[in-house]
Amino acid sequence: MKNNIYLLAILLLFSCQREKIEITVINGYLSNLKNDTVKLVPSEKYFPKFDLIDDNYPISVIDSTGYFEFRVENFKTGFYQLVKNRYHQLSYDLFIEALDSITIKKPEWNSDNFLEISGRGAEKLSYLTIDNQKYPSKSLIYDKLSSKDFATELVFKDYMDSIYAKRLNELRINATTPPYLKKQFRTSLIAEKAFFLLGHLNRRNYIMNDSF
């Protein structure tokens, strides 16, 4: 009889382990979206100002304090963005892995205040908080890169190269960012640099053609 009880207990234990649901948690505060909703969208499925091709994404209600929370079963590892009305709410796409439990605090979309990422799995994203502190969304650096204050293209290029060389070096020496994320962040920085270059050429009325 006692053996049967032990056997039953073991079977129940294994049954509970098999039925254990793996949950990934993404929560935090978006103070500019109170009493609203936000979606968690894979980055490759989102493009600014365009409607989502597939609208079947997790959605969270944001309360009166700006707090939101996603609890997702069987989460697919990858880059994600918080999206509201075709617009992303974070300056950076976040790499989230299954079973992460990450808290994000961003006071305003266009704020020069801090970006804070904490919780289980947040260490790999430490570079983003460091970069945001030094180069926030409303930094005068971005204003200057978008201005007509440069006498020549060479002056603009030297200024832009100096900024992005520092950012790329800070990424290179960051000890907590894994190599596969460093590669992605580096690609994003280079793309951002190209964006400012194209904007500058447009302001200078350059026309690029096959012979450029």
- Residues 64-87 pLDDT 10s: 999 999 999 999 999 999 998 888
Residue 54, phi then psi, degrees to nearest 5: -120, 120
Q: How would you label 181-196 residue by residue, b for 16+ Cβ within 10 Å and e otherwise?
A: beeebeeebeeebeeb
Q: What average pLDDT does this structure show over 111-138?
A: 84
Q: Which two tokens stand for residue 60?
A: 């969270």
- The confidence score (pLDDT) of residue 53 equals 66
9-36 pLDDT, tens digit each = 554 554 544 456 789 999 999 888 889 9
Residue type, 76: K
Say what the pTM is. Answer: 0.76
* HSE value, Cβ hemisphere, 13 Å, CA-based, for 161: 6
Residue 203's pLDDT band, with cuts at 50, 70 and 90, is confident
Q: Where are the beta strands (DSSP E) in 107-187?
A: 116-120
Beta strands in 115-210 (DSSP E): 116-120
| Strand-pair partners of 101 | 25, 120
Name the burial class of residue 78, with classes exposed (0-12), middle (13-18) and buried (19+) by CB atoms within 10 angstroms of its CB. middle
